[in-house]
Amino acid sequence: MKARFLSIVLAVSICTAMICGCGSAAGSAPKATAAETAPTIGTAETEEAAPAEGTGKTAEAAPSESAAAAETAQAETDALESGDTESMEDRADNVADLIDAIYVQEWTPETEEQCRAAKEAWDALSDEEKELVEGEYADPDYFGRDTGDASKDDPLNQDGIGENEILVVSFGTSFNDSRRATIGGIERALAEAFPDWSVRRAFTAQIIINHILARDNEKIDNVEQALKRAKENGVKNLLIQPTHLMHGAEYDELTAAIEAHSGDFEKVMISEPLLGEASDDASMINADKKAVAEAVTSEAVSLAGYESLDAAAKDGTAFVFIGHGTSHKASVAYDQMNSQMKELKYDNVFIGTVEGEPEDTECSEVADTVEEKGYKKVIMRPLMVVAGDHANNDMAGDDDDSWKTRFTDTGYFDSLDFQIAGLGEIADIQKIYVSHAKKAIGDAGIKTEAKEGGSAAALSDGTYEAVFKTDSSMFHVNEAYDDKGTLTVKDGKMTIHISLASKNIVELCPGLASDAEKSSETLKPTNDTVTYPDGTTEDVNGFDVPVPYLDKEFDLALLGKKGKWYDHKVKVSM
């Protein structure tokens, strides 16, 4: 410490002498603090000793450079006197070390405190210091990247579960908006479809759990914690619904973890992952793979603004769906998805993977294939449940090894577009998970009030024919329509249009008659013209009725011509 102090004093002396010799131009420069400048010792000596170019003589330091050296030396002196010897780099490195310490796949009793300490240290940094954070895994984006409002997400870690639980297990993502739309979307669809089961969440990636806890103070259970919670809450029937794509390494590890706790519950069921049953045959396709292929392609085509996949092909556009990839034998599922696309005659749809496993899904292989087919426009979308780091960085990022960069570097394609959206936010994908859960519960012989397709979350936006039944012979759909109406699904809401038998019912109101008498938002009729089988026509009242759920009765009050409201039960079914 004494030697370091002497060096600083010497530097200050030299700089002072230089400033005196060169004038006082820097004499009024403000002093730098230790937090604003790195500790640079001997800068003035190095510059002073450097030979002047072409003369062999020693060059004098420029006044501004001398001033900077003086400020640096003075900052070191001030730091020593105050006892603060940490530099900007030191503080940034400390945060990087704290991040690296929680970037691990194992939970310990110290994990939560480590997460808190890392965030507090990050918050204490200046903006300039935050840019210097760099470690084995740490970078400024760990805390600094805005991925949405975590407070809008439900971690589903509540107690009071009851006897029946569906534990939705995901790898996880720290991208808040995507987590809420994808994993959250699947969880909500399951909760709506199984009203007599409690839905809870677990992630298998402790690294992600720690990231969310440290940055957003949102606590998500890992699998062990979720199983312990279920046991302590007296759960008897436990269904594990993985959101994994296939029977890969993650699925195998999950199965082993669940089997170790099978004795804690009366019945434990593990449902199928998204693509369904496994097979070693690359040409093997099944109903689940077909449904996934149709759902993601339809969503991508619609979002791209094309009327159909054929219209996109005629416009020279190809769609590339990018999965994670794996060295596990389950990688054959990607080739099976390619087979499924061919079976559906989706000739301008291609499957790739971030990891390039299997080999034909590697980026350059896919780029060459798309080029050989003559498509000049490419739209990329993740074939992953969430749209997290892989979608934002490995697919659409600007790094040298991203798919965006590598496709651009070919110089062949006229345009590249990206759809940053996970499979989990597609309603038809959510419906597949619901059907898997229903089958697993049914195979276990457990009776449930499952409502397959019981909500808008289980249906894609569009129009459907649906049955509208009531508890009254006087209140019903016109006989010309055989008890059916047109169900419209849009933005997670359902409405059915029904044409009645006459104009005797003049208003409707969701809820009870007592509610209708106080409501200013009753349903007003439309004028519908009905054509009967014999060719005659009649004008009747029609109504657009909000539908809270399918296959389950709800209250709908009606107002007759005499001005009195009546209670009725109605049910809408597909």
Q: What is the pLDDT along the chain (574 residues), one digit of tens a residue?
A: 434 343 443 343 444 444 444 443 333 333 333 333 333 333 332 323 333 333 333 333 344 445 555 555 555 455 445 445 579 999 999 999 999 999 999 999 999 999 999 999 999 999 999 999 999 999 999 999 999 999 999 999 999 999 999 999 999 999 999 999 999 999 999 998 999 999 999 999 999 999 999 999 999 999 999 999 999 999 999 999 999 999 999 999 999 999 999 999 999 999 999 998 877 777 777 889 999 999 999 999 999 999 999 999 999 999 999 999 998 888 899 999 999 999 999 999 999 999 999 999 999 999 999 999 999 999 999 999 999 999 999 999 999 999 999 999 999 999 999 999 999 999 999 999 999 999 999 999 988 766 544 455 556 678 888 899 988 877 889 888 888 999 998 877 899 999 998 888 999 998 888 878 777 778 999 999 989 888 899 999 999 999 988 877 888 889 888 888 888 889 898 7
Say which residues have a Cβ less than 8 Å from residue 297's Cβ, sequence separation at least 6: 309, 319, 341, 344, 346, 349
Looking at the structure, do residues 196 and 226 belong to the same domain, yes or no? yes
Which CATH number belongs to the domain containing residue 533 in this structure?
Answer: 2.60.40.1850
Looking at the structure, do residues 415 and 296 belong to the same domain, yes or no? yes
Does residue 280 lie within any of the structural domains?
A: no
Structure tokens at 285: 């396709």
Structure tokens at 83: 């006892």
Q: If 0-12 CB within 10 Å is exposed, 13-18 middle and 19+ buried, where does residue 487 land?
A: buried
**pLDDT at residue 71 in the model:** 57
Looking at the structure, do residues 397 and 291 belong to the same domain, yes or no? yes
Structure tokens at 422: 């996970």
Does residue 218 lie within any of the structural domains?
A: yes
528: domain range? 461-573
- C-alpha–C-alpha distance, residues 448 and 451, integer Å: 9
- C-alpha–C-alpha distance, residues 511 and 487, integer Å: 19
Does residue 438 lie within any of the structural domains?
A: no
Looking at the structure, do residues 552 and 465 belong to the same domain, yes or no? yes
Looking at the structure, do residues 139 and 248 belong to the same domain, yes or no? no
Looking at the structure, do residues 249 and 193 belong to the same domain, yes or no? yes
**pLDDT at residue 553 in the model:** 81
Count CB-CB contacts under 10 A for residue 511.
14
Identify the three-state secondary structure at position 113. helix
Does residue 277 lie within any of the structural domains?
A: no
- C-alpha–C-alpha distance, residues 382 and 320, integer Å: 8
**pLDDT at residue 84 in the model:** 52
Structure tokens at 349: 């749809």
Identify the three-state secondary structure at position 1. coil
pTM: 0.67
Total structural domains in the chain? 5
Which CATH number belongs to the domain containing residue 192 in this structure?
Answer: 3.40.50.1400
**pLDDT at residue 40 in the model:** 31
Tally of residues, the chain: 574
**pLDDT at residue 511 in the model:** 86
Looking at the structure, do residues 77 and 99 belong to the same domain, yes or no? no
Does residue 456 lie within any of the structural domains?
A: no
Looking at the structure, do residues 48 and 130 belong to the same domain, yes or no? no
Does residue 200 lie within any of the structural domains?
A: yes
**pLDDT at residue 238 in the model:** 98
Count CB-CB contacts under 10 A for residue 361.
24
**pLDDT at residue 513 in the model:** 84
Geometric angle at alpha carbon 415, from 411 and 416, rounded to 5°: 100
Contact present, 555 and 567 (Cβ < 8 Å): yes
Catalytic residue numbers? 324
Does residue 332 lie within any of the structural domains?
A: yes
Does residue 360 lie within any of the structural domains?
A: yes
Cα→Cα distances 552→134, 469, 475, Å: 55, 11, 18
Looking at the structure, do residues 551 and 569 belong to the same domain, yes or no? yes
